[in-house]
């Protein structure tokens, strides 16, 4: 499996890297990515496109930093997902897989984290739109949104050091599941949102 990460920093274990300028405009970032993708996929289209970019920010409508936090969530979550969807539409093989990062918390209203909820719910809409006829996705492609309740990341552990980590989903669990889907095994239906929840070390998957 060939890995061509697109990120703000290079990945030393990757075959190739597309390192974008975080200060560039969204349009210029997209143009830069497209130029590089044309080189990487000229011999063979991609099997899958997996977006794992994102972040979290709290705040309600009275928060002084509401606009800044909403903008940050929009850039970190929706803009990266939109770029990923366009890459899939232009450079992924027929029957390929696109995975985008939703959030189970954004299924319902998020009054205490409005910017985060707005960005994630927009990704949910994007997932379902990609699955519809006329979206531009390759024939037979499948788009799935993953909705983890909470992931076991270094940042989450620093933010919540006293939490029960047995109820957090390991990143390896999610990556293994996505690899399974790429191989065509237990693939969710096109346009579905998949809740990922871990309890006492056991992880379950529920499709919406």
Residue recorded with tokens 């990341």: 153
Residue recorded with tokens 């949104």: 145
Whether the CB-CB separation of 97 and 64 falls below 8 Å is answered with no
Nearest to 84 by CA among 42, 39, 157, 33: 33
CA atoms in the 13 A half-sphere facing the CB of 42: 6
Which entry of 116, 124, 152, 188 is annotated as an active-site residue? 116
- Look up 116 and say whether it is catalytic: yes
> Which residues is 20 bridged to in the sheet?
none
Nearest to 143 by CA among 198, 203, 100: 100
The encoded tokens of residue 161 equal 């050091």
**Residue 150 neighbours by CB under 8 Å, 6+ apart:** 156, 167, 168, 169
> Which residues is 193 bridged to in the sheet?
145
Residues known to be catalytic = 116
């Amino acid at each position: 499996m060939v890995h061509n990460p697109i990120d703000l920093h290079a990945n030393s274990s990757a075959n190739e890297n597309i390192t974008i300028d975080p200060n560039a405009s969204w349009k210029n970032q997209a143009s830069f990515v497209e130029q590089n993708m044309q080189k990487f996929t000229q011999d063979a289209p991609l099997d899958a496109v997996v977006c794992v970019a994102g972040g979290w920010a709290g705040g309600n409508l009275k928060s002084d930093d509401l606009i800044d936090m909403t903008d940050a969530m929009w850039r970190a979550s929706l803009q990266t997902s939109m770029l990923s969807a366009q890459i899939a539409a232009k450079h992924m093989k027929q029957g390929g897989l696109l995975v985008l990062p939703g959030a189970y918390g954004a299924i319902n209203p998020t009054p205490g984290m409005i910017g985060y909820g707005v960005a994630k719910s927009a990704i949910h809409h994007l997932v379902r739109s990609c699955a519809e006829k006329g979206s531009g996705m390759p024939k037979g492609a499948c788009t799935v949104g993953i909705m983890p309740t909470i992931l076991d990341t270094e940042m989450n552990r620093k933010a919540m050091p006293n939490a029960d980590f047995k109820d957090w989903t390991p990143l390896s669990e999610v990556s293994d599941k996505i690899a399974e889907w790429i191989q065509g095994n237990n693939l969710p239906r096109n346009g579905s949102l998949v809740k990922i929840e871990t309890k006492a070390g056991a992880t379950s998957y529920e499709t919406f």
